[in-house]
Structure formats: C-alpha cells, structure tokens
Chains A and B, each alone.
Chain A
Amino acid sequence: MLLISCPNCGPRDETEFHYGGQAHVPYPENPNDLTDREWAEYLFYRENTKGTFAERWVHSTGCRQWFNMLRDTVTYDIQAVYQMGGAAARRARPTRS
C-alpha cells in the first residue's frame, strides 16, 4: 500500500486516492487541426516510463483535490508531490533501465 502525502491533508493510505495517469498532458489547443495520428497520440498514447514518472492523483476520500506526484515505477518510491499546473519537479533520480 502506498502512503501518499496529500498536499492539503498530509500522509494518507493509498485507498483514499484515485490514480489519474500521466501528468502534464495538455488538451490540444486546436483539436480540429490534428491529424488522425496526432489525435490518436492524444487519446491513447501515454508515457509508460520505467523509472521516475510524473503522474496525477486525486485525494478522493479527503479534500477531493488533484495534485501531481513523481514516483519511481519500479521501487514505488514517492519522490515529490506538487501542485497541478506546476512545473514538473526536478527529477530526483535518473530513469532506470
């Protein structure tokens, strides 16, 4: 079980949260201008990083706020928690192979 530090509520069990996948994926500015390939990239393609991954979580049982998190997808170590819309925090460790 992950112990996640909500920016508003402090450390809570993973069961209080929901996962939101990769962070920092902007909605296309002009969706109508995209090619099928670009639209497919937006809809279906996400990074699947092995190593430090920037992802979104929501504290659904607590403050119901979304936030971003850097987590190692191999060790599951949580390296940083930061606000939605904030720049990705520094990468704590290089991507593992």
Chain B
Amino acid sequence: MSTHQLPEHPDFLWHNPEPKSSYDAVIVGGGGHGLATAYFLAKNHGMTNIAVLEKGWLAGGNMARNTTIIRSNYLWDESAAIYEHALKLWEILPEELEYDFLFSQRGVMNLAHTLGDVRESIRRVGANKLNGVDAEWLDPQQVKELCPILNIRDDIRYPVMGATYQPRAGIAKHDHVAWAFARKCDEMGVDIIQNCEVTGFVKDGNRVVGVKTNRGTINTEKVGLCAAGHSSVLAEMAGFRLPIQSHPLQALVSELHEPVHPTVVMSNHVHVYVSQAHKGELVMGAGVDSYNGYGQRGSFHVIEHQMAAAVELFPIFARAHVLRTWGGIVDTTLDASPIVGTTPVDNMFVNCGWGTGGFKGTPAAGLTFAHTIATGAPHKLNRPFALERFETGALIDEHGAAAVAH
C-alpha cells in the first residue's frame, strides 16, 4: 500500500464564471488567438469587462492540435512585418506572462530539393534580410552539420540541395501558451467561459448588439470572431460571407526518444515537417487534406505520404513508431494569408484564415486584433490583411513560404 500523500491541488490558473448578461466585448473562440486577443484588450486597451466564449474546453481546438512551430521567414513585406512582430513578442512573452512555456529557439530549416526551390529560397533569404528577419542560406554540408540525422546524399529522389535557416525560430509548448494567456486574462478580470457555444447573433440594423449562446443571450457592444475552422459558420450566422475553405490538417507523434533532432526541419517539396518535442516525441505534420472537412480527421494516405517523406529525409526514423495521429480544421484562404480586420457587420470583427500556420502568429494576431476591436480600425500590422483585399486585388501570396508547411 502506498504511503505517498497526494500533492496539494495547485491553484486554478483560471476560473469558470457564469456568463454575465452584458460585456463591453465578446471574443468567440477560446483558443490561442482568442485568449491572446483578450489579453491585449485588457492589457493595452484597459478593456477588462470582456468575455471569451469557448464552445468546448479551453484551447481544445487547433491550439491543442498544431505542431508548435514558430518562425517569421515569410516572403512579402506585409507578412514579414506581422510574423516578425509575433516572433519578437514570443521572445518577451514568457517573462511578461510570468510563465515558462518552453519557447525554444532551436532554429528552423526550410529544405530546398530542386533548382526552383533553391532560387526561391535564396530569394526569400534576401527578402527576409531586407525586412530585418534573421535568415541564412545553408549548403547541404551546413545542413548536415546543424542536423546530423538528415540524409543529404544525392542518390535519393529529392536530394537536399540546401536550406534556408532562421536561427531565432523554434517551438513552444502550445498548451502552456494557452494556459499562460488564460491565467493573465483571468487575473485582469476577463471571463473565460467554457462549454458556451454561440448559436447566433443579435443585430440592431447592421450593428451587432448581442451573442446568442446555449447558455443564454449575452449583450455586447463588440464581437471578435477567433474561431479558426468555424469562421465561415459564424460569419453565416452573422449574415456575411468569408473567402475561407475549411480543410482537415493532420499531424502525428512518435513514441518518446532521446534527443536526436536538434532543430526544426520543414520540406515543402516532399511534404513533411518535423521537430522533436521537449518530452522526446517526434512531431510531424504535412499538408491539408484536399477536401473540405469539419470532421477533425483526414485520410490515411496523407499520413502514409508524410511518413514516406520523413523516412527518406531521416532514415533513422524507419525505426520509430507512430504513436498517435490526429486532425484539426484549418481556415484556408486563396492567398495563404490571414484575414484580420473589420467585417460588413458593424462592431463585428474577424480574425481568421491563418491556414496551417496560426500558432506562430498567436501573439501578433492577439495584439493587432485587440487594437482593431478596441479602436474600430486596424493596427498598421494587420491593415494589409483586410477582407477587402479580395476585392481590391491586393493579395499577399504566401504560398511559397506557407504552402504545405505554414
């Protein structure tokens, strides 16, 4: 019989308040982006009479399902600005939130496997440097030095011809990030309301004045939508359309291993990205499933394809085992860039379309979206990412930098 005492229950990081009848602002979606938005609304704009509504459990959607990669090496000025700002926030947030969420700047490599890849990668390194984003071009030997388990032989189908490298990029513990934001929000008076599903909106003319939920109607002056995967569903409830398609995105982990993989390796061409979590699991992802889907699951051949790619790049992985696979629902746009800004409905704002790369953008999404909600106008970082760009044609095509591996 064990003589061990159970440890004392730790303090709750956040509470579970009943929804009030009215708030100054309501954020729909209690994932990373929703919590970050609430955090910056409270911290930067003094709005603490606000609620975050989550239909399931806190950070149980894409925040629980992503592969935790953080980087800012995007091609265009607009993207480099917002993702690099996010990276700078990631660098200070553990201290600011007083929570070590294990942000590990172990670097990210984006492999080039064809001459086209090489040209595109070198171009991106140049663009990154002009935008103040740390970036280097590595030849295959340098790639091997940084990541010894990578196969750089030239007798494979898609040999490694080099890589871009961003040393300040890395990974973080996704769940801990959510908890860190949630605790600070809670401390500042934000109501985090779980198991509260939005079923409709109350409008006065073209102005949103309330949110209908399965726990009653909540009056509010402003609504921010942060529900990646379900953005279109919410927009439809509110009476407008979004140029978004929801796709399954799958990921997987192996069993635990000793540290074997010191950095993050992404390959758009052979469709896989791999890091090793702090705990020791190899974490891998690939591209979205081709069809629209809200099922939080995808097709097995996508997993098979990404495993084939991983084993070719990392022959040692042939001896690892897939422990678990899962899927999330990602919002994709036609230019592989997010939509953050105002909507056709007054006082309703939307943050969506981050595709497969929302995690890395979390702090900047929160900062800029909070600014947009509080002031009614976009922050300079998210102004280019307005919904109107699909009409004006000012698209921000990041398929090269995002592609399979956002």
Contacts and interface: CB of A to CB of B under 8 A. Distances in A.
Note whether A and B form a binding pair: yes
Interface of A: 1-2, 13-15, 18-19, 21, 36-37, 39-41, 43-46, 48-50, 53, 55, 71, 73-76, 97
Contact of B392 (A36, A49, A53, A76): A36
B361 to A, nearest CB: 21
B244 interface: yes
B295 A74 contact: yes
A54 B292 CA distance: 11
Contact of B295 (A36, A48, A76): A76
A73 B294 contact: yes
Contacts of A36: 391-392
Contacts of B334: 43-44
Interface of B is mostly: loop
27 contacts: A2-B299, A13-B301, A15-B301, A19-B290, A19-B291, A21-B245, A36-B392, A37-B391, A39-B391, A41-B241, A43-B334, A44-B243, A44-B334, A46-B245, A48-B232, A48-B242, A48-B246, A49-B292, A50-B232, A55-B292, A73-B291, A73-B293, A73-B294, A74-B294, A74-B295, A75-B295, A97-B233
Interface centre among B230, B233, B291, B333 (most CB of A within 10 A): B291
A74 B246 CA distance: 11
* A-B complex: 3 closest residue pairs judged by Cβ atoms: A48-B232, A19-B290, A44-B243
B14 interface: no
Contacts of A1: 299-301
B292 A73 contact: yes
B390 A44 contact: yes
Given A21-B245, A55-B292, A73-B294, A14 B301 contact: yes
Contact of B243 (A14, A45, A71): A45
Contacts of A41: 241
Contacts of A74: 293-295
B293 A45 contact: no
Contact of A45 (B241, B246, B291): B241
A40 to B, nearest CB: 4
Given A46-B243, A50-B294, 20 more contacts: A1-B301, A14-B299, A15-B301, A19-B291, A21-B292, A39-B391, A40-B243, A41-B241, A44-B334, A45-B241, A48-B233, A48-B246, A50-B230, A53-B292, A73-B246, A73-B291, A73-B293, A73-B295, A76-B293, A76-B295
Nearest to B230: A50
Interface residues of B, number: 24
Contact of A48 (B244, B300, B301, B391): B244
Contacts of A21: 245, 292
Interface string B306-335: 000000000000000000000000000110
A48 B199 CA distance: 17
Interface in B220-243: 230, 232-233, 241-243
Nearest to B335: A44
Contacts of A76: 293, 295
Contacts of B300: 1
Nearest to B197: A97
Nearest to A51: B294
Interface in B276-292: 290-292
B58 to A, nearest CB: 22
Contacts of A53: 292
A32 B293 CA distance: 34
A6 B392 CA distance: 40
- The listed residue with most B CB atoms (<10 A of its CB), out of A2, A36, A44, A48, is A48
Contacts of A40: 243, 390-391
Contacts of B242: 45, 48
A7 B333 CA distance: 31
B390 A48 contact: no
Nearest to A41: B241
B289 to A, nearest CB: 9
A58 to B, nearest CB: 11
Interface string B175-212: 00000000000000000000000010000000000000
A84 to B, nearest CB: 17
Nearest to B232: A48
Interface centre among B241, B242, B245, B294 (most CB of A within 10 A): B294
Contacts of A48: 232-233, 242, 244-246, 292
B270 to A, nearest CB: 17
A18 B295 CA distance: 19
